A and B are shown apart, each in its own frame.
Chain A
Amino acid sequence: MIIVDSRGDVAMVHVAVDRLDAAASPAFKQAVASQVDADTAKLVLDMRAVEFVDSTGLGAIVSLMKRLPPDGVLVIAAPRHPVRRLLQITGLDRLFRQFDTTEEALAAIGG
């Protein structure tokens, strides 16, 4: 479901499903709870493998954001068109900065 690797103080979370939808979101949230360290404050969500996200999947990403401390930051790397579009429609593009590559995302949040 997810693969997590650490780059300095940044957790890189690779989403390893093609659809982060209502069917997949419970397992995603469970995987996050067990694999992402509770003290994580900077997180890059690598969405390159994800072809589709619905509002439930988006809610799961928001819940991931809520795990971070108040000064924590979550950015999205390599979102495909449907993911960018969903963020734009919901206005969450103002909450989650997006970068074309994981390298750019890491550079932006200081990994």
Chain B
Amino acid sequence: MAAEEASFTIEADLSQVRELARFVRQEAGLNEAALADLELAVVEAANNIILHGYGGGGGLIRCHVQRGADAVRVTLSDSGAPIPEDMLRNAQPTSQMAESGRGLAIIRACVDEIAYTSAAGANRLTLVKAG
């Protein structure tokens, strides 16, 4: 059975992330609890791309949602600076009173699988959520 797919592109601007979240909620077809986790992971990933990948300087983020029989795959593509490899692999512990630095740990907690590639200036982060 062919997976259902849809794509959506936003400008790398924090005010646009809610539109990306709305798109993912609409296309993912998950139960509410799984959808809440996926939405949070996608928002954290998009925020990271905007603030760290593009350094607030702008660009595009393309979001591709692929709905399979057992899981949803959301791929975010951008052409900003890649995520440093060690950062993606190791959770950076944050103190309770820290005001930032929780994004990647949240992404890991919210999805079942993460894949990341960066080649020739193109980054692709894939988040897989079972459901």
B39–A86 contact, CB under 8 A? no
Summarize B's interface: helix, strand, loop or mixed.
helix
Q: A52-B21, A62-B99, A94-B96 are in contact. List 20 more A-B contacts (CB 8 A).
A: A21-B14, A21-B17, A21-B18, A21-B47, A23-B14, A23-B18, A54-B44, A55-B106, A56-B47, A59-B99, A59-B100, A62-B97, A63-B99, A82-B40, A89-B105, A89-B109, A90-B105, A90-B106, A91-B96, A92-B96
Q: Is B122 an interface residue (CB 8 A)?
A: no
What are the interface flags for A59-75 relative to B under an 8 Å C-beta threshold, 1 for contact and 0 otherwise? Answer: 11011011000000000
- Assess the A55–B36 pair: CB atoms within 8 A: no
Instruction: Give how many B residues have a beta carbon under 8 Å from the other chain's beta carbons.
Output: 27
Selected contact of B97 from candidates A21, A56, A65, A86, CB within 8 Å: A65
